[in-house]
Chain A
Amino acid sequence: MTKETAMNFKAATLWGMIVVLFALVPVLASSPYQINLASHVLIWSLFAVSFNMLWGVTGMLSLGQALFYGLGAYSVGLLVNYLGSAWYLPGIGIGLLAAALLAFFLGLLVIRVGGVYFTMLTLAFGQLAWQITFKWYDFTGGDDGIQGIMPPGLLGNKTAYYYFLLVLVLVSIWILKRMAYSPFGLILRCVQQNPDRVRFLGRRVRRNQLRIYIISSFFSALAGSLMVGVDSSIHTDMLYWTTSGEVILMSVLGGINQFFGPFVGAVAIILIEDYVGAYTEYWSLIIGTIMLVMVLGFPKGLVGEARRLIMRFGRTETGR
């Protein structure tokens, strides 16, 4: 039990540090741009962590989570655009509900087929949603997107909005973390490692896959809807397949078998993107190379490899 208490203490300290660090950003920031950057980091972290509940935990590599991210964003954006900024918060709620419903019906279709099929079908449906949004110019603004979407009242203030999203993101990640270590999370990991055995535990594989697909899509939509207020706009790129690809990259970089891997990956990618993006337009060459190196050389990701090093170091120490 003492071991568990020690681990809980460590986790709590880590959490405390993350919360304090992000809470201090508006105080320490020298420009609104830094608040904007921190917002991006937080939102992508939520998106990546919720994606990884699908892939790293359950083994379902979706290449179409941008569909739900975009759905969340467009629900808020379109409602505010057509009905006024009072619809901002209801828009988030509607987007979440729509995402959960869509994930349920889409899930019934795409979960029946496994492995590579699942990946490719999620990609296809994601691209379908992108095409509809892209071509329905009169309603969605097509490739121009919609600009000037402002949250109402106090949330219109960038700092206030930052704290609003900070709370929502951290609470969501906390919920997902509890889920990952719960019996439900354990069954999801079992589904990844040995689905046949799960059936012989008397559990339904597909039903559990559907559950996590809905949950992951729900939080992806939340990430998308929160992003609207940060950039004050929506754009079809939010639905494009490269957006789905980006969260995969974040997860791989951070480590897919670690709960906080995608979080670390998201922080790293957003910061690299911000830094390198200023120097070169060949961004996809860089992320492609990062992905290639990670997949071939470091499949455990940054967090996973770090842990391995610490464990090896720790072992030799105790060995002496």
Chain B
Amino acid sequence: MDASFFFTQFVSGLTMATLLFLVASGLTLIFGVGNVFNFAHGSFYMLGAYFGYQFVTVWGNNFWLSLVLTAVCVGLVGMVVEAVFLRRIYGRANEGGFQILLTYSFILIIDDLVKLIWGTEYKSLPRPQGFQGAFQAGDIYFPAYNLLIIAIGLFVVVAAWWILSRTRAGRVARAAATDREIVGVLGVNVPRTMTLVFGIATALGGMAGALAAPLRTVTPGAGIEVIIDSLIVVVLGGMGNFWGAWFGAILIGEVNAFAVAFVPKWATLFSFLVMVIVLVFKPEGLFATRKIRKL
């Protein structure tokens, strides 16, 4: 294994890890703050990819502007969905099961709506100007667009760290993750906070979808693949744990990238393998913040 091959795979793994992290961090945030499992989170990712396609390819907007617009629009859709539908079942008996079913119905509905609006053909998105090529360092080439995604991911991580540890909103979110009653006591409007968290999380997912679109083709049904990958990431890191999701994403991204290089056909099995190993030895995840609810 020479250095150039190693670095190429490594960067490709980091790219995937970043995209996964953007989706998984939203998933884990919603779960941590609201104890809601958003099974449809992958569908917001897919929605992001289609919005990006619409803004850039169809309407010919600037990539950067489109990225921001996509995040905002997907976030708004997420907030509406939370406020109109999800909120109705909070606190119901067997809520967990009904959450999954309700968000499952979103997957089915969003999938078909996307087909109705954009059709079933594959869509593609060009890379933004200035990021089509690759940087060269010695005899190693780094695709510029991949580096860009990684940089954006790092920016989100730093921003998230700053918000979670330095702002009041972040402290409230962290408090909510450990003890829900405290938040009410602090005088926070819990329903509004939840809608906002849902909006931020889905906006992150939508942004990931738009960022991924130039690398992967955009198709309906992409949501479920992403949700399963993010789910593995979240299980690895410990549900509701932000940093666990980051670590899990990097682990799965790299495992995948190298598996693709060595055993392309069976590559997808490796992330499952990692998950099984973790489950056997540490079922609550590598960085669990709280005991998992026993059934």
Contact = CB atoms under 8 A, between A and B. Distances in A.
B105 A120 contact: no
A110 to B, nearest CB: 8
Contacts of B140: none
A97 interface: no
A252 interface: yes
**Count class of interface residues, chain B:** 35 or more
A225 to B, nearest CB: 25
B116 interface: yes
Interface in A100-140: 109, 111-121, 123-125, 127-128, 131-132, 135
A14 interface: no
Interface string B136-166: 0000000000000000000000000000000
B85 interface: yes
Contacts of B265: 135
A60 interface: yes
B228 A295 contact: no
A292 B283 CA distance: 32
B269 A128 contact: yes
Interface stretch (A77-85, A168-176, A226-234, A282-290): A282-290
Interface string A65-107: 0000000000000000000000000000000000000000000
A120 B276 contact: no
B108 A284 contact: yes
A114 B294 contact: yes
A299 B295 CA distance: 21
Contact of B228 (A114, A116, A127, A282): A127
Interface string A5-22: 000000000000000000
Interface in A284-320: 284-285, 287-289, 291-292, 295-296, 299
Contacts of B228: 123-124, 127
A299 B268 contact: no
Interface in B224-258: 224, 228, 231-232, 235, 239
Contacts of B280: 109
A282 B265 CA distance: 32
B102 A296 contact: yes
Given A59-B94, A128-B269, A284 B89 contact: no
Contacts of A132: 269
A188 interface: no
Contact of B293 (A115, A209, A241): A115
B112 A288 contact: yes
Interface in B74-100: 85, 88-89, 92, 94, 96-100
B211 to A, nearest CB: 24
B231 A123 contact: yes
A252 B98 CA distance: 10
B108 A288 contact: yes
A299 B276 CA distance: 34
B96 A131 contact: no
A128 B276 CA distance: 11
A124 B101 contact: no
Contacts of B283: 112-113, 117
B104 A296 contact: no
A131 B239 CA distance: 25
Contacts of A292: 85, 102, 105-106, 109
A82 B293 CA distance: 46
| Main SS at interface, chain A | helix
Nearest to A290: B105
Nearest to A191: B295
A282 B97 CA distance: 25
A288 B105 contact: yes
A209 B279 contact: no
Nearest to B88: A296
B56 interface: no
Give the residue among B112, B116, B224, B232 with the most A Cβ atoms within 10 A.
Answer: B112
A119 B100 contact: yes
B272 interface: yes
B266 interface: yes
A295 B104 CA distance: 11
A38 interface: no
Given A116-B96, A282-B116, A205 B104 contact: no
Contact of B105 (A113, A118, A123, A291): A291
Give the residue among B31, B92, B96, B115 with the most A Cβ atoms within 10 A.
Answer: B96
Contact of A59 (B31, B92, B109, B295): B295
B239 A117 contact: yes
Contact of A285 (B92, B102, B104, B109): B109
B276 A118 contact: no
Given A288-B109, A291-B108, A299-B92, A121 B295 contact: no
B105 A124 contact: no
A19 B111 CA distance: 39
Interface string B2-31: 000000000000000000000000000001
B292 interface: yes
B188 interface: no
A121 B279 contact: yes
A215 interface: no
Given A109-B280, A284-B109, 14 more contacts: A55-B97, A61-B96, A61-B97, A111-B295, A113-B283, A116-B31, A117-B235, A119-B96, A120-B37, A124-B232, A124-B275, A205-B295, A285-B109, A288-B111
15 contacts: A114-B292, A114-B293, A124-B228, A135-B265, A195-B295, A241-B224, A282-B116, A285-B113, A289-B105, A289-B109, A291-B104, A292-B105, A292-B106, A295-B98, A295-B101
